[in-house]
Chains A and B, each alone.
Chain A
Amino acid sequence: MSVINEGLVASFVLLIVVLAEGLLALFLTRAGKAQPTIRKIAGLEAIEEAVGRATEMGKPIAYTTGLGGIRDQYIYQTIAGLNILGYTAELAAKYGAKLVYLPYDPTIMPMAVDVVEQSYIRAGKPEDYDQENIMYLGGDQFPWAFGVLGFTFREQTAANIHMGPFWAESLILAEAAFYSGAIQIAGTANYHQIHFFVVAADYALIGEELMAAGAYLSKDPTQIGTLWGADWAKFTTIALIVVGAILTAAGVSTISDFFTL
């Protein structure tokens, strides 16, 4: 009898491999033995531009983290969205722009309130923090999407930033911002919605770029080290795919059998 639950052996082995590569890269970076660089992510660089635009125009920035809550499997995207919210709120506080966060799931609100408040304190502008700028619109997909759409048109937002898990409402949000003339930065790891953001938004974060955002914005070498580890994991995956395809074509099913374990 296997110690690991049936059907999860390959998953566990791959998890350990990715973890080992990530941790090794992290420790090498922390020990100063490597200094990985990170390519520029246009979508994250554009946040400062968006906040600057909002400041100049005197109009608000609408920020959303998608349809994620704390009890679903998309929480990692929501957390990534909150990381970027902290950075955006700090910039907004520094520049004096109005940032309005429009949550979908009330379970995220206490975290978001804390993130935004801490950002204003860190920027040295605690007096500018206004809890009214965290505006709950309702916890159902299309009513929430229409709330964001209405806010975008009514307030004529200067910038709309959407970071997190999105579904069918993604294009409604993106097109609303386009028609209201807002600069738009959007990112999601829901692959079935990425193309909508790529087509309709000014800047789009594709899949893993969203997860890398926290490390990217922190400029912390240790965090960036783990992104280097992610590159190793991708090389390992590519090697497995290539070797597996060659072996399977040659009639050897060792690797494909391993993935059924």
Chain B
Amino acid sequence: MSLVIKRYIPLVLTFLMGIIMVFATYFLAPGTPEREATALLTGTVDVIVVTAGVIGLVVLLRHHTLNINRRGRFWKYSIITLIGVAIYLIIGIYGVFTHPTHLMYASDLFSWVYSNIYVSMDMTIFSLLAFFIASAAYRAFRFRSIEASVLLIVGSLMLLGRAPIGGVIWEGFPEIATWLLNVPNTAGNRAITIGIAIGAILLAIRQLLGIERGYLGPEQ
């Protein structure tokens, strides 16, 4: 029974849903009742997403509560995490209570916390990317092999072509950078994209036919 539930039913559902969605995409015109009916199927995913969101919250709370109880590594940070989750949750629920007919209502306080605390911290992390790009480029841009040398030359030309100072030094740099971006870069990207598309179709085939079942866990 366990094998039927864990393996065969998911495989049958995967096959049926896959075939229905492909059929709907190609043969059912958008806006028709039949196509809308298939959209209901994709809507069922939202039920899973909401449930999974609760699971995520429970797992997060459980992990940090256990870490505090065990006085695990960096347990003091777990307290900060729990306080952060609790405060934001209370602010969110309070906003809904003030507007009970609008479950997605974001109160002024909720929006303030989001805009002034969350977004600021989010952008701080994002801005680290600039430094990481510099350090990664420093390691990559070296004359150690033919490939690395090509990367160094092309990277340098792109930097000169895209930075304002490049055009001041020589007006040809922006044109070279544009050509590099539009011709060799696009050709490479399209080759990779075609390979990915074909690979994805055949991965889908292996999964729809139940040949590749790794995502269900290894066979016993």
Contact = CB atoms under 8 A, between A and B. Distances in A.
Nearest to A3: B27
B136 A174 contact: yes
Contacts of B214: 82-84, 86-87, 115, 214, 217-218
Nearest to A103: B56
A203 B52 CA distance: 32
A66 interface: no
Interface stretch (A32-40, A48-56, A225-233, A251-259): A225-233
Contacts, number: 201
Contacts of A146: 125
Interface stretch (B164-172, B174-182, B189-197): B189-197
B212 A171 contact: no
Contacts of A19: 201, 205
A214 B216 contact: no
Interface stretch (B59-67, B93-101, B105-113): B59-67
Contacts of B203: 76, 79-80, 211, 214
Given A70-B45, A106-B53, A142-B125, A118 B217 contact: yes
Summarize A's interface: helix, strand, loop or mixed: helix
B205 A234 contact: no
B195 A234 contact: yes
Contacts of A110: 52, 55
Residue among A11, A191, A208, A237 with most chain B CB within 10 A? A208
Interface residues of A, number: 84
A137 to B, nearest CB: 8
Interface string A46-84: 000000000000000000000001110000100110111
Contacts of A175: 132, 135-136
Contacts of B66: 132
A23 interface: yes
A132 B72 CA distance: 13
Interface in A117-175: 117-119, 121-122, 132, 134-143, 145-146, 154, 168, 171-172, 174-175
**Main SS of chain B's interface residues?**
helix
24 contacts: A5-B30, A22-B202, A69-B49, A71-B42, A79-B207, A86-B215, A106-B53, A109-B52, A116-B217, A122-B218, A132-B66, A136-B56, A139-B56, A154-B73, A171-B133, A172-B125, A172-B132, A178-B139, A194-B192, A210-B199, A223-B212, A226-B205, A230-B198, A237-B198
The 3 closest A-B pairs by CB, nearest first: A118-B217, A106-B56, A208-B199
Given A132-B63, A172-B129, A207-B195, 16 more contacts: A4-B26, A76-B203, A109-B56, A115-B215, A116-B217, A117-B217, A136-B56, A136-B59, A143-B121, A171-B129, A191-B189, A191-B193, A194-B192, A214-B206, A226-B202, A234-B198
Interface of A: 3-5, 8, 11-12, 15, 18-19, 22-23, 26, 69-71, 76, 79-80, 82-84, 86-87, 90, 105-107, 109-111, 114-119, 121-122, 132, 134-143, 145-146, 154, 168, 171-172, 174-175, 178, 189, 191, 194, 196, 199-200, 206-208, 210-212, 214-215, 217-218, 220, 222-223, 226-227, 229-230, 233-234, 237
Interface of B: 6, 25-30, 42, 45-46, 48-49, 52-53, 55-56, 59-60, 63, 66, 73-74, 121-122, 125-126, 128-129, 132-133, 135-137, 139-140, 151, 189, 192-196, 198-207, 211-212, 214-220
